[in-house]
C-alpha cells in the first residue's frame, strides 16, 4: 500500500503522519481564508442594528396612535426593523388602515415587505374599500407567500369579477384535493 512517490519524498519517520496531515490540509483549504470574511469587523454591520433601529423608531414615531413602548418593542425585537417600519409606513400611506393595526401584522410576519405589497395591491383592485382592506391585512399576514396570494386575488377579481372576499377565501385555501389518493384495493378473504 506504500506509494513509491511517498516513500521517496519523505523520510521514514514522517511517512506515518503524511496521510492524516494531507487530509487536515484539504479540510483547512475548504474553510474561509480568514475569520474577517466570515464575521464583519464591526458589530453594527452584521445586520445594521443601530441604523435599522434608529430608522425604525424615526419612521414609527411619526404616527401618534403608536405608543412609544410599542415602537421600542417593535424596533428592538424585529429581525429586520427597517423592513417592519417600511411595512407599516406603506400600509398607512396607501390604504385606509391605521398604523396601530398595520404594526401588528408587520411585526408578526416573516415577510413584512411582502405583506405591505399584498395589502396595497388588493386595496388598489378594490378601490380601497375599508372592509376589504381590513380583511386583506389579515389574509396577507396569514399567507406564507403574500405576493403570490395578492396576485391570485387580483387575478380572480379582475378576470372573473367575483367579490374580493370570496377571491381571498379561494386563494388562501391551501388544501390539496387529490383524487383517488388511496386506491381501493380488492378485499381478499
Task: Kindly state the average pLDDT of the residues 111-116.
Answer: 93
Query: CA-CA distances (angstroms) from residue 55 to 51, 80, 85, 101, 162?
Result: 6, 11, 8, 20, 40
12 versus 168: the higher-pLDDT residue is: 168
**Neighbouring residues of 124: CB distance < 8 A, sequence distance ≥ 6:** 94
| All cell numbers assigned to 10 | 519523505
Task: Kindly state the average pLDDT of the residues 57-64.
Answer: 92
**Neighbouring residues of 188: CB distance < 8 A, sequence distance ≥ 6:** none
Name the pLDDT band for 39 (thresholds 50, 70, 90): very low
Q: What is the pLDDT of residue 140?
A: 93
Q: Quick one: 98 exposed, middle or buried, by C-beta within 10 A (0-12, 13-18, 19+)?
A: middle
Name the pLDDT band for 184 (thresholds 50, 70, 90): low
Dump pLDDT digits (tens) for 89-107: 999 999 999 999 999 999 8
In angstroms, rounded to a whole number, what is the distance separating the alpha carbons of residues 135 and 8?
Answer: 78
Task: Kindly state the average pLDDT of the residues 106-121.
Answer: 92
Q: What is the pLDDT of residue 2?
A: 56
| All cell numbers assigned to 11 | 523520510
Q: CA nearest 136: which of 158, 160, 166, 108?
A: 166
Amino acid at each position: 500500500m506504500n506509494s513509491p512517490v511517498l516513500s521517496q519524498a519523505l523520510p521514514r519517520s514522517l511517512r506515518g503522519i503524511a496521510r492524516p496531515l494531507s487530509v487536515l490540509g484539504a479540510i483547512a483549504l475548504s474553510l474561509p481564508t480568514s475569520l474577517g470574511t466570515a464575521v464583519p469587523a464591526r458589530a453594527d454591520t452584521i445586520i445594521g442594528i443601530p441604523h435599522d433601529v434608529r430608522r425604525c423608531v424615526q419612521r414609527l414615531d411619526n404616527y401618534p396612535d403608536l405608543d412609544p413602548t410599542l415602537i421600542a418593542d417593535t424596533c428592538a425585537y424585529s429581525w429586520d426593523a427597517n423592513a417592519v417600519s417600511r411595512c407599516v409606513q406603506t400600509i398607512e400611506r396607501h390604504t385606509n388602515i391605521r398604523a396601530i393595526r398595520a404594526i401588528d401584522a408587520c411585526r408578526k410576519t416573516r415577510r413584512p415587505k411582502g405583506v405591505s405589497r399584498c395589502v396595497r395591491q388588493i386595496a388598489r383592485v378594490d378601490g380601497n374599500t375599508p372592509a376589504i382592506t381590513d380583511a386583506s391585512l389579515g389574509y396577507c399576514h396569514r399567507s406564507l407567500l403574500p405576493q403570490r396570494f395578492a396576485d391570485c386575488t387580483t387575478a380572480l377579481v379582475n378576470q372573473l369579477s367575483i367579490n374580493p372576499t370570496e377571491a381571498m377565501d379561494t386563494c388562501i385555501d391551501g388544501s390539496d384535493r387529490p383524487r383517488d389518493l388511496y386506491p381501493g384495493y380488492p378485499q381478499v378473504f
